[in-house]
Amino acid sequence: MSVRRTKIVATLGPASNSPEMLEQLILAGLDVARLNFSHGTPDEHKARAKLVRDIAAKHGRFVALLGDLQGPKIRIAKFANKRIELKIGDRFTFSTSHPLTEGTQEVVGIDYPDLVKDCGVGDELLLDDGRVVMRVETATADALHCVVLIGGPLSDHKGINRRGGGLTAPALTEKDKADITLAAEMEVDYLAVSFPRDAADMEYARQLRDEAGGTAWLVAKIERAEAVADDETLDALIKASDAVMVARGDLGVEIGDAELVGIQKKIILHARRHNKAVIVATQMMESMIQNPMPTRAEVSDVANAVLDYTDAVMLSAESAAGAYPLEAVQAMARICVGAEKHPTSKTSSHRIGKTFESCDQSIALAAMYTANHFPGVKAIIALTESGYTPLIMSRIRSSVPIYAFSPHRETQARAAMFRGVYTVPFDPASLPPEQVSQAAIDELLKRGVVEKGDWVILTKGDSYHTIGGTNGMKILHVGDKMV
């Protein structure tokens, strides 16, 4: 069977919390476990994280933990009778002065006062991910009076978006700030920031992460219309992050479903060009919440993201709350492998016309050029401190596996998210220099990845523990005496 290159992120929740189910998910190919900080207590998250790490270690697997901050999702308050039913043409009001638990058929409270300032007459508001749509008819200091354009049920705490974006809530709430500290304590490998508007939001998150003593790589969830309004904003946001997520739920609501696929392709392309990892998320296997097999449309959606060369595809409710979490991971793994056979995911345009920015980047890219054009190359070994060298390598399309050789836990876990990158624990500093190449090859021989007569590329630096220090590449012939 071919080795899958695209990585799988699965959200943990009631459907996947038991040690037995978690173990099955990890064995089925889970690479990154997403902990949703919108639900659950700190103790629950810590227990779940420990379980993931313990089970992964038991099987010699590397599974990264991704903590996902709740962010400033704007929600309506509650109804006196939990839910109402709205019809086209109904009048409905959002009020910042209405009691928060007393919503009626005509009005509901909201505890985000700026909604009234941010919206004006003629704006469209989308509720519950766009299932109900209204247009603002009149606005006062404390209320928006609307007419219903698309009716349906509306219940407690459903989210509100404005078509076209533009709600001004800052990305990090007080809860998020507390969760950044929690994430640092838990040593999560990735931390996802919800609803960042621009690079400044990510820089602020980075500052808070540093103050909390965290080392997690920051993932910008791209889910606001203003984040993708122009290339300049998008690129600045990507550059201010370590990875990005195409968060299609809110993004699709704000920019409209017709724009979504094109924007997804653009975000993946730009993230890769800026040397960042990228995840495609939301509703990838939605029907598998209730069914043991995906629809053809879902198969096609996952495959499309794989062909776009995403690093990872993600499961949300399918693995957190669905009836078939294991089947969902298995289906995703199968579809990834199938789509990866398609030639577009093996060839690279090699950044023609681009200049390289540093020595280590140049070596990483030279290694990929060689791997893709020298037929006997079966594997690439990147000795890495932080994971940067294999990250850069995996920005280039290839069918040659990239092995991140590192002695550090954080790096081993982090690399689990990079497409085509696999981890091998290895400390070159513990060996005499003349034995490093052979010892590295031995690790691949042990795993059955290479055999006598194969070629392997190895990259490293002059010193054995310097981030950014990679300055050399060797082409090694398996079976020959190495120095």
Residues marked active site are found at 34, 75, 221, 282
Which of 469, 473, 475, 482 binds ligand G6P (CB under 6 A)? It is: 469
Which of 283, 319, 361, 386 binds ligand G6P (CB under 6 A)? It is: 386
What mask of x and - would describe binding to ligand G6P in positions 8 to 27, judged by CB under 6 A? --------------------
Nearest to 136 by CA among 118, 150, 123: 123
Choices 147-155, 254-262, 308-316, 460-468; region in contact with ligand G6P by CB under 6 A: 460-468
d(CA 138, CA 225): 24
For residue 7, the 8-state DSSP code is: E
Query: Helix %, strand %, coil % for the chain, to 5?
Result: 40, 25, 40
Do 33 and 325 contact (CB within 8 A), yes or no? no
Contacts of 47 (CB under 8 A, 6+ apart): none
Q: What is the DSSP string of 110-144?
A: BS-THHHHH--TT-EEEETTTTEEEEEEEE-SSEE
State which residue, 204 or 369, has the beta carbon closest to ligand G6P: 369
| Residue at token pair 């400033």 | 72
**Subset of residues 169 to 198 that bind ligand G6P, contact rule: CB under 6 A:** none
Which of 360, 363, 419, 457 binds ligand G6P (CB under 6 A)? It is: 360
Residue 188 Cβ vs ligand G6P, minimum distance, rounded to whole Å = 19
State which residue, 341 or 465, has the beta carbon closest to ligand G6P: 465
Beta bridge pairs of residue 218: 191
Asked if 460 interacts with ligand G6P (CB under 6 A), we say: yes
Do 416 and 7 contact (CB within 8 A), yes or no? yes
**Subset of residues 258 to 287 that bind ligand G6P, contact rule: CB under 6 A:** none
Residue 358 Cβ vs ligand G6P, minimum distance, rounded to whole Å = 10
Long-range CB pairs of 288-291 (<8 Å, 24+ gap) are: 288/318, 288/322, 288/324, 288/327, 288/328, 288/331, 289/317, 289/318, 289/321, 289/322, 289/323, 289/324, 290/322, 290/323, 291/324
Beta bridge pairs of residue 92: 146
Choices 8-16, 265-273, 338-346, 377-385; region in contact with ligand G6P by CB under 6 A: 377-385
Residue 465 Cβ vs ligand G6P, minimum distance, rounded to whole Å = 5
Choices 7-15, 73-81, 197-205, 386-394; region in contact with ligand G6P by CB under 6 A: 386-394
Choices 264-272, 286-294, 301-309, 378-386; region in contact with ligand G6P by CB under 6 A: 378-386
Which of 36, 316, 361, 389 binds ligand G6P (CB under 6 A)? It is: 389
d(CA 425, CA 403): 10
| Residue at token pair 């201010």 | 240
State which residue, 222 or 379, has the beta carbon closest to ligand G6P: 379
State which residue, 221 or 414, has the beta carbon closest to ligand G6P: 414
d(CA 196, CA 418): 23
State which residue, 325 or 428, has the beta carbon closest to ligand G6P: 428
State which residue, 168 or 463, has the beta carbon closest to ligand G6P: 463
Question: Beta strands of 212-287 (E only): which ranges?
Answer: 217-222, 243-247, 277-281
Asked if 157 interacts with ligand G6P (CB under 6 A), we say: no
Choices 146-154, 205-213, 329-337, 455-463; region in contact with ligand G6P by CB under 6 A: 455-463
Asked if 383 interacts with ligand G6P (CB under 6 A), we say: yes
d(CA 255, CA 5): 30
Choices 40-48, 61-69, 285-293, 382-390; region in contact with ligand G6P by CB under 6 A: 382-390
Using CB atoms within 10 Å of the CB of residue 343, give its burial: 0 to 12 exposed, 13 to 18 middle, 19+ buried. exposed
Which of 385, 414, 423, 424 binds ligand G6P (CB under 6 A)? It is: 385
d(CA 98, CA 447): 64
Nearest to 274 by CA among 215, 207, 189, 357: 357
Choices 78-86, 142-150, 177-185, 456-464; region in contact with ligand G6P by CB under 6 A: 456-464
What mask of x and - would describe binding to ligand G6P in positions 390 to 429, judged by CB under 6 A? --------------------------------------x-
Asked if 464 interacts with ligand G6P (CB under 6 A), we say: yes
Asked if 362 interacts with ligand G6P (CB under 6 A), we say: no
Please, how many CA atoms are within 13 Å of residue 280, restricted to the half-sphere of its CB? 32
Nearest to 274 by CA among 189, 199, 384: 199
Contacts of 192 (CB under 8 A, 6+ apart): 34, 66, 67, 68, 69, 218, 219, 220, 221, 245
Which of 274, 468, 474, 482 binds ligand G6P (CB under 6 A)? It is: 468
Which of 93, 264, 384, 423 binds ligand G6P (CB under 6 A)? It is: 384
State which residue, 439 or 467, has the beta carbon closest to ligand G6P: 467
Asked if 359 interacts with ligand G6P (CB under 6 A), we say: no
Asked if 458 interacts with ligand G6P (CB under 6 A), we say: no
Residues lying near ligand G6P in the complex (CB under 6 A):
360, 383-386, 388-389, 428, 460-461, 463-470
